[in-house]
Amino acid sequence: MVAQLTSGERQLALVVLIALALVGLAMGVVGRADPIGVHGLIVLVLSVGLTFLVLSSLYAPEPSAERLSQYYDDPSKVGIILAIVWGIIGMAMGVWVAALLAWPDLTFDAGWASFGRLRPVHTSGVIFGFGGNALIATSFHVLQRTSRARLAGQFSPWFVLLGYNLFCIIAAAGYFMGVTQSKEYAEPEWYADIWLVIVWVTYFLLYIRTLARRKEPHIYVANWYYMAFILVVAVLHIVNNLAVPVSLGHAKSYSAFSGVQDAMTQWWYGHNAVAFFLTAGFLGMMYYYLPKRAGRPIFSYRLSIISFWGITFMYMWAGSHHLHYTALPEWVQTLGMTFSLVLLVPSWASAGNALATLNGAWHKVRDDATLRFMMAAAVFYGLATFEGSFLAIRQVNSLSHYTDWTVGHVHAGALGWVALITFGSIYSVVPWLWKRERMYSAALVEVHFWLAIAGTVVYVFAMWNSGIIQGLMWRTYNESGTLTYSFIDSVVAMHPYYIARAFGGLLFLLGILVCAYNIWMTIRMAPAVQPTSTADLPEPRQIPVSPAPAE
Amino acid sequence: MPEFHRKIERSAIGFVLAIVVVSSIGGFIEIAPLFTIDETVEAAPDMRVYTPLEVAGRNIYLREGCYACHSQMIRTLRDEVERYGPYSLAVESKYDHPMLWGSKRTGPDLARIGGKYSDAWHVAHLFNPRDVVPESVMPKYGWLQRNTVRTDDLGEHLAAMRAVGVPYTDEMIANAGNDAFGQASPDSSFAAGVSERYGEATQVRMFDGNPEQVTEMDALVAYLQIIGRLTDVAHKQAALAQEGAK
Amino acid sequence: MSLDHETLVAFSKSWGLFYLIALAIGVVIYALWPANLSKFHVAKQSILDEDDKPWT
């Protein structure tokens, strides 16, 4: 892959990697008494490793000019594989922490293996590792096709993808060592945050530069969503992570905000991370791969525009519904609740638009599990956004908040919407990227579909039950006017549901393992022998004389 | 209007700026009043800052991810007030960088945990929760008793907190390491300085019952015992409300 | 900064809402403007062709 870079790009890569290695070295030296030193070592080892990779092909011949008449898909391929790897890690961690809640001693007597440190590995692993890599990989793919233009440069896509994964590795390794800001979904410490800003700005510039090269006059709606994802995540990330580090040799920092201000900032971030990371980006996937796979244009382009601006505008206001009945001023709570309710309109417009696109193609949905993944995702998106608006009502929230209902809601969105739309997109894009006729096994896609659906349903139902029971037990009074249940009574009542939840998660994990095997076998399959598609093979690696093996 | 939109959409940069402006205005307008929120936070003249040992303990609380299962925010609901105590006031987390209000109660709320149980209970509970509460699903934290707490850099920690607005004095910062040792070693010569700098009411004692070293257990228990007790304004307000009701 | 909390709250509640309504109306007008329909039609069809190469 390095040989595909021009010699100028190889030199640039070398300079960046050496600079990064030096930063790692400095972190290791300055922070030798602190976890930041371990992080420095990780940075050093990874960048030196990549340096050798670049050096090995530094003087390889220049790539042919032919490449410019094709799309640049290598980073997308690597991104898809990384997404699956992170997905397996993140979901396996999820099953482990779920099991720990049912059987708390199912671990080692060591800090790294305790629930509180494993949990962020699960959340970051699936959200940032799995979701983030899938977003980056598909955004490159969609951006080029809808712009009819090749990515601007070959270095910055790699910098974005690998730099982002370095951030994920730093994050996960840090959690095991107890390095965390303790802000949910923004746990990585200051230096990882700074690094992510650099990567994200590069991502943004790459996107803009490619769009500027586009040959289509109109920017297709999927790009609007990807763009909103990139931009707003940058704003959220920078504001919520403002902090003062103890010193350059300490991983630890203190948040710039405190108390009520910090709470508001955190949930403004948290809720909009759901909106712009877990919704906008994945809607971008949906608006491209679903019509493409169904072979039908999106039902209403007008509706997609209206819902885009609705989501972009209104989500920003809704964050305070996470803080009902707290020390937050009441008007902010009311505003958050109102906008959460109104938000249902653009959300359902998107879900309805997706389903209406499939109207008339139901036979395809029946026969093609890939398309069915995307249809189910749209259904779960509709359900989860309805539930979200419902839970944002103050009175409902008084029961549901702090309980497993929230966890169930999050997973209805994360498993049902985010993961299903991602799997649907991955199954569409893998044969496309690797120039195969189809996935290795349609039957295995079918198996994955049912494992994923069963896992999601078991999980969500278990959490609905446990959450509502929990909430009711906490507020039940007996005849004499005192609370009926002690807290531990509610913990005991959760046990069967926690077992069910771990089982649901296990089914979902099995699904992604099936997916990984299917992708692996697809890559190993012989390329499709279509005369039209040979022209734009990204890497004409095969030796011309040898014909493709029959089996 | 449509002409304008068509234009911005055709130039990618303009389109991007439109997204930035549109979405950040909404976000900014909602959070803008929170930058002046300190005007609305209750006054608590008696509120003290965390001692260095409590800061170290709080950092252990963060490190182990306790916030994932325990909230520190009692809502203004009858059952919560009866179960946990007076509802939380904004001022009580004024010095919390970051706040630990939490989002989930796999275990009970901890906003009023300080002083509710003995040190010995906390030590036994953290060592193995199921020794104390047989049905508990909380993890064991055996290593807290084995690890000595790092105190040599606590001055830098306090200085960083001062940079974000916690009123630590130069003297507090200069003596941070000694004060952390002193607070867990009542018989040492450093103990007196803690009460001098942080007030007579500061709890100076051997939290983990082990005189050999100042462990992470000492620090965490010291923190747990101060949660909700930096100021008693919430209790005072609750008492006033009760009198008013009569 | 001489803005006090009350002023900011009042501003957020009134002008913020006005801003939202104005924006919503603008977007709906754009989306429903008859002259834009043909463009949207081209856009939604554009992704469906099998052409998988950059245009030059």
- What secondary structure does DSSP assign to A12-71, as a single string? HHHHHHHHHHHHHHHHHHHTTTSHHHHHHHHHHHHHHHHHHHHHHTTTSPPPPGGGGGS-
- In DSSP terms, which residues pair with A477 in a beta bridge? A483
Give the rounded distance of the alpha carbon of A312 from its chain centre: 18
Identify whether residues A165 and A55 lie together within a single domain.
no
Report chain C residues whose CB lies below 8 A from the CB of A150.
Answer: 54
pLDDT for the residue numbered A18: 97
pLDDT 10s digits, B86-125: 999 989 999 999 999 999 999 999 999 999 999 999 999 9
Domain hosting A169: range is 72-244+256-524
Partner residue opposite C27 with nearest CB, options A221, A301, A305: A305
Give the model's pLDDT for residue A516.
Answer: 98
Give me the torsion for CA of A199, A204, A208, A211, rounded to 10°. Answer: 90
Judge whether A126 and A90 are in contact, CB under 8 Å: yes
Amino acid at A145: R
Quick one: A94 and A55 in the same domain? no
Q: How far apart are CA B188 and CA B32, in angstroms?
A: 49
Q: Are residues A456 and A364 in the same domain?
A: yes
Contacts of C20 in chain B (CB under 8 A): 26
Helix, strand or coil, per DSSP, at residue A151: coil
Contacts of A378 (CB under 8 A, 6+ apart): A286, A290, A350, A351, A354, A355, A421
Which of C29, C40, C48, C56 would you mutate first to test chain A, the one with the most A CBs within 10 A? Answer: C40
Whole-number percent of chain B with pLDDT over 90: 74
Give dist(CA A268, CA A240) in Å, integer: 8
Within this chain, do residues A185 and A42 fall inside the same structural domain, yes or no?
no
Q: What's the length of chain C?
A: 56
- Tens-place pLDDT, residues B41-93: 888 888 999 999 999 999 999 999 999 999 999 999 999 999 999 999 989 99
Q: How far is A196 from chain B (nearest CA, A)?
A: 19
DSSP string, chain B: -HHHHHHHHHSHHHHHHHHHHHHHHHHHHHHGGGGGGGGTSPP-TT--PPPHHHHHHHHHHHHTTGGGT------S-HHHHHHH-SPP-GGGGTT-SS----SB-SS---TT-TTTS-HHHHHHHHH-HHHHSTT--PPP-THHHHSBPP-TTHHHHHHHHHHTT----HHHHHTHHHHHHHHT-TTSTTHHHHHHHH-TTS--S-TTS-SS--BHHHHHHHHHHHTT-S--HHHHHHHHHHHHH-
Q: Please tell me the predicted confidence (pLDDT) of residue A272.
A: 87
Give yes or no: residues A3 and A152 share one domain.
no
- B8-38 pLDDT, tens digit each: 566 666 766 776 676 667 667 766 776 776 6
Asked whether the beta carbons of residue B2 and residue C11 sit closer than 8 angstroms, the reply is no
Whether residue A297 lies within 8 A of chain C, CB to CB, comes out as yes
Q: Does C30 touch chain A (CB under 8 A)?
A: yes
On whether both A450 and A482 belong to a single domain, the answer is yes
d(CA A86, CA A103): 25
Confirm whether A475 is domain-assigned.
Answer: yes
Q: Is B29 on the interface with C (CB under 8 A)?
A: yes
Q: Which residues does chain A have with pLDDT short of 70?
A: 320, 327-329, 529-551
Q: Which residues of C touch B1 (CB under 8 A)?
A: 26, 29-30
The answer to whether residues A103 and A31 belong to one domain is no
Measured between CA atoms, the residue of chain C closest to residue A145 is C52
Longest dimension (CA), chain A: 90
Q: What CATH number is associated with residue A270?
A: 1.20.210.10
* A129 and A21 in a common domain: no
Contact B108, B70 (CB under 8 A): yes
Angle at A379 between CA A377 and CA A381, to 5 degrees: 65
Give the contacts of C17 (CB within 8 A, at least 6 positions apart).
Answer: none
Is B6 in the C-facing interface, judged by CB distances under 8 Å?
yes
Q: Looking at the complex, report in whole angstroms how far the Cα of residue B135 sits from the nearest Cα belonging to chain A.
A: 7
How many whole angstroms separate alpha carbon A80 and alpha carbon A17? 23
Query: Nearest-CA residue of chain B relative to A260?
Result: B90
What local confidence, expressed as pLDDT, does residue B41 receive? 80
DSSP β-bridge partners for residue A245 = A253
Residues A111 and A191 grouped into a single domain: yes
Distance of CA A50 to the CA centre of its chain: 25
- Count of CB atoms within 10 A of residue A371's CB? 23
Interface contact flag, C53 A70, Cβ < 8 Å = yes
**Interface residue A69 vs chain C (CB under 8 A):** yes
- Per DSSP, A244 falls in state E
Residue A492: closest C-alpha in chain B: B135
Shared-domain flag, residues A414 and A304: yes
Assigned token pair, A455: 């896992």
In a domain, A530, yes or no: no
Same domain? A77 vs A29: no
Question: Is the residue at A26 inside a domain?
Answer: yes
Residue A371: both structure tokens together: 């398309």
CA distance B102 to A471: 16
Q: Are C45 and A324 in contact (CB under 8 A)?
A: no
Measure C14 CA to nearest chain A CA, in Å. 12
pTM for the model:
0.93
Cα separation, A181 vs A199, whole angstroms: 20
Could you read off the pLDDT of B127-180 as tens digits, one per residue? 999 999 999 999 999 999 999 999 999 999 999 999 999 999 999 999 999 999
Please list every residue in chain A whose beta carbon sits closer than 8 Å to the beta carbon of residue B22: 309, 312-313
Q: How far apart are CA A346 and CA A253, in angstroms?
A: 38
Instruction: Say yes or no: A290 and A419 in one domain.
Output: yes
Kindly report the average pLDDT of chain C as a whole number. Answer: 81
Residue C7: band (very low, low, confident or very high) from pLDDT cuts 50, 70, 90? confident
Distance CA A6, CA A154 (A): 8
What are the boundaries of each domain within chain B?
2-40, 52-245
Q: How many CB atoms lie within 10 A of CB B246?
A: 4
Residue B177 near residue B150, CB atoms below 8 Å: no
Q: Which positions in chain B touch A247 (Cβ < 8 Å)?
A: 153, 156, 160
Q: Do A216 and C46 touch (CB under 8 A)?
A: yes
ipTM of the complex: 0.92
Question: Which of B99, B97, B105 is CA-nearest to residue B71?
Answer: B105
pLDDT band at B7 (very low <50, low <70, confident <90, very high): low
Which chains border C (3 or more CB–CB pairs < 8 Å)? Answer: A, B
- A423-to-A85, A290, A291, A448, B202 alpha-carbon distances in Å: 13, 12, 15, 9, 56
Q: Which of B21, B40, B99 to mutate to test the interface with A (most CBs of A within 10 A)?
A: B99
Q: Chain A interface, mutation test: which of B69, B97, B133, B144, most A Cβ atoms within 10 Å?
A: B97
Written as one letter, the residue type at C38 is S
* The predicted structure's pLDDT at residue B3: 64
> Which residues is A254 bridged to in the sheet?
A244
- The CATH number of B52-245 is 1.10.760.10
Q: Which residue of C has its CA nearest to B2?
A: C30
Please report whether residue A500 resides in a domain. Answer: yes
What is the pLDDT, as a whole number, of residue B2?
58
Nearest CA in chain A to B74: A326
Q: State the total domains in chain A.
A: 2
